[in-house]
Chains A and B, each alone.
Chain A
Amino acid sequence: MKIAVCIKRVPDMDLRFAIGAGGKALDSAGLKFDIADFDGYAVEAGLRLVEAHGSGEVVVVTVGPAAAQETLRKALGMGADRAIQLSADEVPFDGRAVATALATELKDGGYDLVLFGRMATDSANQTVGPMTAHLMGVPCVTAISKLDIAGGRGTAERQLEGASETVEFPLPAVVTIDEGLGRPRLPSLKGIMAAKKKPLEVKPAQLGAASLTVDSIALPPDRPPGRIIGEGADAVPELIRLLQTEAKVL
């Protein structure tokens, strides 16, 4: 089984970040980067599928600058077999441009399955997976929580609001992964050492023309400071009145 896992290098969103000078991107100073959360789950899913199948290959692919090689090597450290960097100085915000580069690389690669995280934790667009599927002309199942592959077909489960849905599809296919197939494993120390020796191919990204750009990016306004209405039972009527008239939550 040959599986491609498309991953993105994103800033650690748990850390404090600031808007850059142009107002159109984050200030990269002081940011720490790592594999996007759901993409880690996608790598784990790819590794588990190949392990369960007994043989196969997991190829990790990214679009991005040279710094993204560190993210590829992390996935290699987890156990992926080889990596491809589709080199671009910047990752375009437009999912179609990225999907074009990925589909160009993947469509004749003989992959049974192309996995994505269900969204990148920085841009949260959820577009690159489905667009890549469209450009490759293969089926696409999004945000799956369970996946079985047998006899050239896949069966996936998706969690909906209050229900779950089971989807069947032929391979090759594109599948985007939610949490559910298992927490991403840590790269072992031997894995980190072995990653240096695994093949990492660098090719120019055949990005499509960007059809949209980011106009501006802003942090949410500071929350107004809290207010103490009073103390004890005496304050309750006033609290209820304000929750009804001002906060409008009751």
Chain B
Amino acid sequence: MANAFAGVDFYDVDGLLSEEERAVRDTVRAWVDEHLMPVIGDAYVEGKFPKQLIPGMAELGVLGANLPEEYGCAGLNNVAYGLIMQELERGDSGIRSFASVQGALVMYPIYAFGSEEQKQHWLPRLASGQDIGCFGLTEPDYGSNPGGMITTAKETKDGWLLNGAKMWITNGSQATVSIIWAKTGSVDDVKSIRGFIVPASTKGYTAKDQKGKLSLRASDTSEIVLQDCLVPKDAILPKSGGIKSPLMCLTQARYGIAWGGIGAAMACYDEALSYSKARIMFGKPIGQTQLQQSRLADMLTEITKAQLLTLQLGRLKDKGTMTPDQVSLAKRNNINMACEAAREARRLLGANGILAEYHSMRHMANLESVYTYEGTHDMHTLILGQAVTGLPAF
């Protein structure tokens, strides 16, 4: 394929990957070229998630790809999983967000905190795209401070009665099942937070699209209302307990997001580089000017640093020693890096850079959401500050 994306690899980072990791990366990269790139520009402008891609993604095996084969998943290691996220976000942050939520925020909590019955029932359905999931943690007044949530779950003789509202929920409107986090005790009892598997068809559960987004337009973002929503007793995730449980899910998702940032940055760098060689101004390619070379050199350097940093993070995760603080560093660095790369690429592209036909401005706008969600850049700063000083500033 003439327009196949060749990636960015200035330091032979490929040489640090196994054959299988490269094969996974290449297959997802080819899928993005063939199926996502032709439709993403229009989907973004129209503000619609390209649903038609879900069966193909599922068939390829990208949903919950690092969970075990016995539950219908691909059983990949975490580096290969990260490379999938990188390649999806090379296409669009919204598509990567879809896969992150399904895998890390819906399938992972069922895998980590669910009963064997729940795992057997839900994981194969979610891996095959038969069910779409969402993750209800954030509330209108509780974003960076999820422990303050006011959604409650009261145990009754018929089951659990859920009441509350969730906001900024990716996949919310199209989800057939939701992982809802709620307090089973009083609203100041953070330890009473538990997870519940709530089918979207449950009476009292409603989801509606959040309108007017200028970012992640090819992604479904919704508000969920739970009004006397009664679920059976066995809807609770038995091994969940306290705010630590949803935070463990976020660590999984943030790990993938750190890889995703590299993908978005590579897409922008690749577009800027090829544009700089083709665009003639003052009788020579703009890539022959020092200003644009400075932009390209900065992008290349930051991408290369992020690749090495994130690969090591993946190796630590596969070894089982990765810490949430290390994930914070990578998410914070890589998404900030990707935001800068997207903005500089957009500028290098001049007026063309504002068109949906090119990709940099779409990435630039998307990445503002990625900068803000899954722990804002500022919160990760404070997490790192606390990690090195031992003194919490939040």
Contacts and interface: CB of A to CB of B under 8 A. Distances in A.
Interface of A: 14-15, 70, 73-74, 77, 186-190, 192-193, 196
Given A186-B27, A189-B74, A192-B27, A14 B69 contact: no
21 contacts: A14-B4, A15-B6, A70-B23, A73-B19, A186-B31, A188-B27, A188-B59, A188-B60, A189-B28, A189-B60, A189-B65, A189-B76, A189-B84, A190-B75, A192-B23, A192-B27, A193-B20, A193-B69, A193-B74, A193-B76, A196-B20
Given A186-B27, A186-B60, A192 B6 contact: no
Contacts of B2: 14
B246 interface: no
A193 B382 CA distance: 40
A224 to B, nearest CB: 19
Contacts of B62: 189
Contacts, number: 48
B36 interface: no
A186 B84 CA distance: 14
Interface of B: 1-2, 4, 6, 19-20, 23-24, 27-28, 30-31, 59-62, 65, 69, 74-76, 80, 84
Which one of A14, A190, A196 has the greatest number of beta carbons of chain B within 10 Å?
Answer: A190
A12 to B, nearest CB: 9
The 9 residue pairs across chains A and B that have the minimum distance between CB atoms: A189-B61, A189-B74, A186-B27, A192-B23, A190-B74, A190-B61, A188-B61, A187-B27, A188-B60
B4 A192 contact: no
B69 A189 contact: no
Contacts of A77: 23, 27
B366 to A, nearest CB: 25
A9 to B, nearest CB: 13
Given A77-B27, A189-B80, 10 more contacts: A14-B2, A14-B4, A187-B23, A188-B61, A189-B24, A189-B65, A190-B69, A193-B69, A193-B74, A196-B20
B27 A193 contact: no
A119 B31 CA distance: 25
Contacts of A74: 23
Contacts of B27: 77, 186-189, 192
Contacts of A14: 1-2, 4
B69 A73 contact: no
B68 to A, nearest CB: 11
A77 B22 CA distance: 13
Contacts of A190: 61, 69, 74-75
Nearest to B62: A189
A92 to B, nearest CB: 26
A55 to B, nearest CB: 23
B69 A192 contact: no
A37 to B, nearest CB: 10
Nearest to B59: A188
Contacts of A187: 23, 27
Contacts of B65: 189
A73 B23 contact: yes
A186 B80 CA distance: 16
A30 to B, nearest CB: 10
Contacts of B75: 190, 193
Nearest to B14: A32
A186 B30 contact: yes
A193 B75 CA distance: 8
Nearest to A78: B27
Q: Which of A74, A187, A193, A196 has the most CB of B within 10 A?
A: A193
Nearest to A70: B19
Contacts of B4: 14
Nearest to B60: A188
A163 to B, nearest CB: 29
A188 B24 CA distance: 8
Nearest to B73: A190
Contacts of A192: 20, 23-24, 27, 74
